[in-house]
Each structure stands twice: as C-alpha cells, then as structure tokens.
Chain A
Amino acid sequence: MSATVSEKGDAPAGKQPDQLFTLKRWNAVAVWSWDVECDTCAICRVQVMDACLRCQADNKQEGCVVVWGECNHSFHNCCMSLWVEQNNRCPLCQKEWVIQGTGK
C-alpha cells in the first residue's frame, strides 16, 4: 500500500482500551483479477475475468482459468488447449507456445 500511518505514537489499538477510538472489527474488501497484460482473450474475444464462451454455455464458470505462455501472453486455458491442437504457436506473437503457468 502506498499509504502509511502518518501520526507518531500510533500504537496497536487493542492494547489501550481507554483510547478514544478502539477498533473492534474491520471488514476488508479486495477484488482479485488475473495478472494479465491484456484483459481480453484473443482467441474467444471474451474478457479473461469472465469464463470463456464454452464454459459459460456449460455453466462451468468456476473452473475456467487463465494460462500464461513464456511470451507473457495470456488466454483462457480452455481456449488455448484447443488452439495448440491445431498450431503450437502463440496466436499473438507466433512464438512457440510454452506454458509459463496456469491460474489457480
């Protein structure tokens, strides 16, 4: 986080029960997204945060993850596994497709 606590003497709240404000609960919200350079899967033209069209149709949104190649391009894993059956190159840069990792 860029923000830091600016005031001096800011001790953990719980240890001074007579403080003005004592923190009792914090419900923190964060959103996650795939760590990708391009939001859209170049194969199916659907955003990578959404399931690919096949998985949407089969209602298997949860299992539809992203795959990264050594070239740093990323696609839906389902889309890419079909793609490599035809052509083992990255559809974007034409380099040989080597998997760097898959999302989990």
Chain B
Amino acid sequence: MTMLVGHQQTFDEKWPAMQPVILKLLSQESVTRQEWQDLFWNVHSVCMWDDKGGPEKVHSALKTNISNFIKDAQSRIRSHHEGNALLRAYIVEWQKFFSQCVYLPEPFSQLEKSLSDRTNKRKQEQQSIVRKLMLDSWNKNVFHSISDNLKDRTMVLIQEEREGKSVDAQLVIGVRQSFVNLCSNAEDPLQIYHEHFESSYVQATEKHYNSAAENYLNDNGVREYMKYAQQKLSEENQRATRYLESSSVSVLDKHCVSVLVSRFTDAMLAECPHMIRENETDQLSLMFNLMNRVPDGINPIIKYLSEYILQQGLTDMKECRDIITTDSEKYIDLLLVLFQRFSTLVKKSFNDDPRLLTARDKAFKEVVNDYSVFSLELQTKAKQNTVKLPPESRCPELLANFCDMLLRKTPLSKKLSTDEIDAKLKDVLLVLKYVANKDVFMRYHKAHLTRRLILGTSADNEKEENMLEGLREVGMPADYVNKLARMFQDIKVSEDLNQQFKENRKDRASDVANIKILNAGAWSRRSERIPVSLPALLEDLIPDVEEFYKSKHTGRKLHWNHLLSNGIMTFKTDIGQYEIEITTFQMSVLHVWNSRPREAISFESLRLATQLPDAELRKTLWSLVSNGKLKRQVLVCEPSVTSLKGFNDSSIFNINHQFCLLKGGKTQKRGRVNLIGRLQLSTEKNREEDNEGITQLRILRTQEAIVKILKMRKKITNAQLQTELVEILKNMFLPQKKLIKQQIEWLIDNKYMKRDDDDINSFVYIT
C-alpha cells in the first residue's frame, strides 16, 4: 500500500501537472478552479509522501521557475532606457508580480510546514517562505540593479508635482512599495526604505525649500511668507501622507519645519511686537501656529505679550490717572476693559493656549498690583518687630468700594438692571483673583458690609449672599468668609430678638427703638466704650434691654456700641418740619437744645452736656455746621470756622431756625435728609490701630506659616521656604521678601528655628 501510494506521489510524477499552473499564476493568466485545487493537493501529496527530498525539490523547482519568469520581466523592463518609460515599465511589472506574491504562496502552505519542520522549526518567521523567495528573487534580479535609477526618477516626479505639474501618483507609490517589501532584514523591515527612499525624499524636500523659501521671503516679505510657510507645511504633510510610510510623516514634518520656519524665526518674531500692538490677530495666529512647531518657539511670543500687557496696562492707567484715582467704578471699568482686550487677543491670536493664558495672568496681575499710579501706605508702629511695608496698590480698596456701590442702595445700583449688577459683581471677583493683597480687600469689604447691615442699606439680600459664595469660590480664606456669613446670620437672629422685645414691652420707648445685638466675634473684636449722654427715654431703655437679654441668654455680657447706632428725629424749624437721619452722637448734641431752643450754647457746655470726648464732639459738630449736602445747615457756629480744628471752648453754636430743604431752588416745607453720611465704624485712634492691624496680622501670619512649614519639613532651604510661604499666604497677601527675612530673623532670635550648621542657606526647626 505504502509502495503504491508512494509511487504515485513523488515529485517527478507530480511536477509536470504543477508547473503549468504555477506559470499561469505568475503571468496572471486565468486558472480554473480545478487547477487551483489540484495544485493544493499536489503540493500536499509531494510534501507528505515523497520522502526522497520532495519538498526541497518543489522549492528549487519553484525557484527556477520564478527566476525565469523574473528574467523575462527584467528584459521587458530593460528594453526601456529613458527614465519615465523605465519607471512606468517597472511599475507595470512590479504591480503584477506583487499581487501574485499574495496568491502564489497559498497552495504551498504544506511546503512551508515541511521545510520549516526540518530547518529548526523557525515557525515564527512572519513572511512565508515562498513569498520571501519571490521577493528576494525580484530584488536580486530586477530591483537591485535599477533601484537608484528608479529612486532618482521618483524624486524628479515629486519635484515636478511640487512645481504644479500633474503626476501619476501610482508610480511613486509603487516604488515606495518596492523599497518597503524588498527588504530581507527581518529585524527592521523598513531598513532599505529608510536608508534610501525616505532619506532621499527628505533631502529633496529640504533642498527644494532651502532656496525656494528664502527667495519667497525676500520677494514677498515676512507677512506673506508666513502664509506661504503655513501653506507649504500643510501641502508637504499631505504629500508625505500620500507617498511615505505613516511613520515617516513626522520625520518629514520636522525637516520641513526646520527649513521653512526655524531658519526665519528672527525675521518673523521681529514683527511680533508690532502685530500685538496693532491687534493683528490673524497674523499673530499664523505666527503662533508656525512658532509653536519649533521647540521653545513661542517663548519669545510669551515675552512680547507680557511686555505689551504690562506696558499698555500701565500707560492706560496713567492716562486716566485723574479719573480712576477718585472714581472706583471708572477704575474697575478700565481694568476690565484692559482684561477683556488682552483676553480677546489671546483667544483670537493664540487660541487660548494655556502658556499664553498664564502669561496674560501674570502680566495682568502686575498691572492690577502696580502702585505707581496710586499707593496705599501701610505701616506699623509696634514696638517689637518694626516693619515698614513698601507701598501697595490701592486696587483692593477701590475694588471693595465698587463692590459696595453695587450692593448698597446707590444711584448706580438703582440704575443698573439686576443682571447687569450680577455681571459687574462677577467682574469684581475676576479682578479680585489678580489682587495680590487680598487682606486689604477683606478689611474694606467687611467694613462696607458692616455699614450696609447696620444701616439696612443693602440693595438686595440675595445678591449679598451670592457675593459671599463668590468670595468663597475665588479662594478667599474660609475663616474670613465664614465670619461674613455669620454677620448675616447674626442680623437675622437679632431681628427676631428685636421682635420679641417689642412684643414684650409695647410702650413708646420700645416702639421707637430697634435693637441689634450682635456677636462680637463676627463683627468687631475691639470697640472702645465712648461715653455719650442719651435722651432720657433711651437712657431708661438700656437697662431694660439688658434685663430682657439676660432672660434669653446666660453667660453673656453686652457692650453698647453707640458709634454704630443711629436714628431719625423730626426737626421743627420756622419754615417747616423735617425728618433727619442722624447718628446717636448727633442726636445727643441736638437734643441739648430741646429744652432751650433759642439759646446759644458754647462748645464747652456741649461737651459737658453730651459727655462726648473732644475729638468725637468736634467731628459731630462739624458734620452739623458744614454738611456738603445741605444749602442751609442745622447748626450755626460763631465765629465761623474752616475746619473742625477751628472749634475752641468758647465757640458758640445756635440752632438754625431758618433750616429747610431746597428742591430746585425752592424751599420745601417737609422732607427727609440723611446726615449720617458714611457711618463711622471706629474712632480716629482705633482707625490707626486698624491700619496697623493689617501689618501686624501679616507679621503673625508669616511667622505662623514659617513655623508650620518647618514643623512639617524639619529642614528646608531658604529658596524652598520662600516658595512654600507664598503658596500658603497667597490667598491673603503676597509676602514681601523683606518681611519674610525679618520674621525669619525674629524666629531665629526667639529660638523657634536655627540656621543649619553645615549650610547657611538652610533652616532647621527647633522642637
């Protein structure tokens, strides 16, 4: 049986049936289904049953046949000498041959198996043996000898395409395929392609633009050149996608960038400051796209942008110096206009690239915190640790003032729609983000809020609360925001208490009085007791309020803050009857005349009657003899004085019985006027202390932060300490180098820390 089968399955017997089919396949003639299947069967039989070297015989016979076929093809190609014809002939033959490389190996899969079984099981080899045989033969016989010729010809074609002629893309692609597929190096199948085709392509491209780009720039100038470069970069990228392996596209891009962009960065950047100044966003966007492809290319753009923002911002502020230093609304408006302008520039020109946004933020921050236009002097007279801080921008103060104008009932807040106010408050928060010394803002904002809540002049409670959330969101310190929140709560609690008190009493005094009892922790820690005599009705009320409060709470003491309290009195003159809104101090002064309306009273007597301290009495009298709002004043002083310092003990005061309100030049018989003005929150003496308070608090915060950092790090270099300090403190203020240095010295002197013995620039925590 074995003999019989073996006899029928030898190579010599089967080959005559196989060969014609193989030849047909090679020359792409049609093959019937039967022939195709028989070929499979025959290959299989020979490989399985011919044990006298069957597979090897098939292999070498196949090789001979392929070689012969290729030799024919070669001679067909060789008949063309002229470049393009040769190329075209090659491509025709190659494409035919290459497509057969896919089909022909299939019937020989059994051969592959038999051969690889014997040759040390190199099964992992990707390429089939037959395919490799075909391609190797092609390479040896055809391609190797003419590859340089083909490559040069291809480059010529590409160059022609670059110059605008139409070119048969298939020719270029075919040559590339040859380079890619005809590599026998299994480790790096693209080796030949890289070494010959890709590098020639890149060189040719570079060579072309070396001269072309320079000429274009010289003929057309930088602006036109940027368009040209942009266009060529994208053209070359598309071409590369067509003609190169995908891995080569980025290589080519890099070379294109270096030949089209890197060489001319100086020329392009020279235009940059001008473009920024003139807001030429299209040009800038072009430049940005080009420079962004050069390593570190946009750094100069960042520099120009920062310089422009800083310079433009300061110039604009200086031009409007007179207006913005007095009008906080105009000032904030100007800042916002600048911010919008810079932001639009960055958006349109640089597509909001994060690096340029950072540059914008940094430069804008400098504009906001610049103090050359107006400065705020903070200093301290504290004995220990005397620090004089450098001047600061008044921005945070003006910002807080503007915020107050929006939240209080003012002509501005009445004029604006609720959406407009919301938008402006958002703007305030936006600018606040750029303010370095937020502690100054906090102080002014809290003072304004105190006035609004005490006087009940908030325009809209909801907006107040939204603002509070806004402050929280921009990262104001939580303890600060919580205190503000507590003030709101406190006012509500106090209203309930007032209600209860009124219901409890139901008499004339409780009818007139509204009491606000507030938490000292949230509102003000220090408030000195200022003596003042009150009308008897009110004087009698006070112990009753205290009694009532004791019944509601235990363990609390009350402290009356008459500086903040205020009221309304009716003022009856010879002309009419008016309601005047006044402070408690004004009330105390005016009340003195109730029992002797027409008498002249001296400064000294008033001091005795009201018990007010000299400074407060002067201020109160000044507000009654020279109120900017009034044409006719409430009090008349003799001799007349030009400032509150002019009063002396013998100055004489009279009620102005001709007092009246004027409207359009006409006297009014009735009306209401506010004489409180800006509610004074503390006395002169305290205000100085408040100013010092900010500096003192900064000193303490800095010390606290240094200790906190050292406790964690144990040992830290000076540079790192500075960085971490700024990080911790930036939500409150930007610590000055000098301040940090002084506090470090203080902490060293007081043995909280010391310098490292080995390294003078490092600090060590002392436990």
Contact = CB atoms under 8 A, between A and B. Distances in A.
B250 to A, nearest CB: 53
A33 B549 CA distance: 12
Given A6-B533, A33-B559, A101-B555, A27 B567 contact: yes
B508 A14 contact: yes
Interface in A15-55: 18-35, 47, 49-50
A30 to B, nearest CB: 5
Given A3-B611, A24-B579, A32 B516 contact: no
A29 B519 contact: no
A26 B556 contact: no
A1 B251 CA distance: 89
Contacts of A34: 555-557
Given A9-B595, A31-B527, A20 B518 contact: no
Contact of B514 (A8, A9, A26): A26
Contacts of A26: 512-514, 538, 565-567, 584, 587
Contacts of B554: 101-104
Contacts of B569: 21-24
Nearest to B523: A31
A66 interface: yes
B489 interface: yes
Given A23-B535, A32-B549, A32-B558, A18 B517 contact: no
B83 interface: no
B655 interface: yes
Contact of A33 (B536, B556, B595): B556
A7 B592 contact: yes
Nearest to A3: B533
A94 interface: no
Contacts of B555: 34-35, 65-66, 68, 101-104
A23 B525 CA distance: 30
Interface string B521-550: 101110100011111111101110100010
B559 A31 contact: yes
Contacts of B521: 33, 47, 49-50
B424 interface: no
B564 A29 contact: yes
Given A30-B559, A33-B556, A20 B572 contact: yes
B560 interface: yes
B103 to A, nearest CB: 77
B535 A28 contact: no
A33 B557 contact: yes
A10 interface: yes
Given A29-B518, A32-B558, A66-B555, A49 B566 contact: no
A87 B494 CA distance: 38
Q: In this complex, which of A5, A22, A49 has the most chain B Cβ atoms within 10 angstroms of its Cβ?
A: A5
Contact of A20 (B514, B562, B593): B593
A7 B595 contact: yes
A30 B539 CA distance: 14
Contacts of A5: 533-536, 539
A20 B559 contact: no
A28 to B, nearest CB: 5
A98 interface: no
B590 interface: yes
Contact of A21 (B479, B524, B591): B591
B516 A29 contact: yes
B210 interface: no
A11 B595 CA distance: 9
Contacts of B482: 56, 59, 61
B591 A6 contact: no
Contacts of A61: 482, 486
Q: Number of contact residues on A: which range applies?
A: 35 or more
Nearest to B577: A22
A99 to B, nearest CB: 12
A32 B479 contact: no
B570 interface: yes
Interface string B301-314: 00000000000000
A6 B517 contact: no
B518 A10 contact: no
A30 B538 contact: no
A4 interface: yes
Contacts of B592: 7
Contacts of A29: 454, 515-516, 518, 560-562, 564-565
Given A19-B572, A61-B482, A104-B553, A27 B534 contact: no
Interface string B569-605: 1111000000100001001001111110100000000
B615 interface: no
B519 A49 contact: yes
A24 B611 CA distance: 23
Contacts of A12: 508, 536-537
Contacts of A9: 595
A84 interface: no
Contacts of A47: 521, 525
A30 B515 contact: yes
B568 interface: yes
A8 B592 CA distance: 10
Contacts of A102: 554-555
A86 interface: no
B697 to A, nearest CB: 14
Contacts of B534: 1, 3, 5
B564 to A, nearest CB: 4
B553 A4 contact: no
Interface in B475-528: 479, 482, 486, 489, 508, 512-521, 523-525, 527
B519 A31 contact: yes
B514 A49 contact: no
Given A10-B536, A28-B545, A21 B520 contact: no
Interface string A57-69: 0010110011010
Contacts of B455: 27
B596 to A, nearest CB: 8
Contacts of B467: none
Contacts of B518: 29-32
Interface of B: 454-455, 479, 482, 486, 489, 508, 512-521, 523-525, 527, 531-539, 541-543, 545, 549, 552-562, 564-572, 579, 584, 587, 590-595, 597, 608-609, 611, 655
Closest 5 CB pairs of A and B: A49-B521, A103-B555, A26-B567, A33-B520, A29-B564
Given A1-B543, A21-B569, 13 more contacts: A1-B542, A1-B560, A5-B533, A6-B609, A12-B536, A19-B572, A24-B568, A26-B565, A27-B567, A29-B454, A29-B564, A31-B523, A32-B517
15 contacts: A4-B533, A10-B595, A12-B536, A20-B594, A23-B587, A24-B567, A28-B514, A28-B541, A28-B565, A31-B558, A32-B556, A33-B520, A33-B557, A102-B554, A102-B555
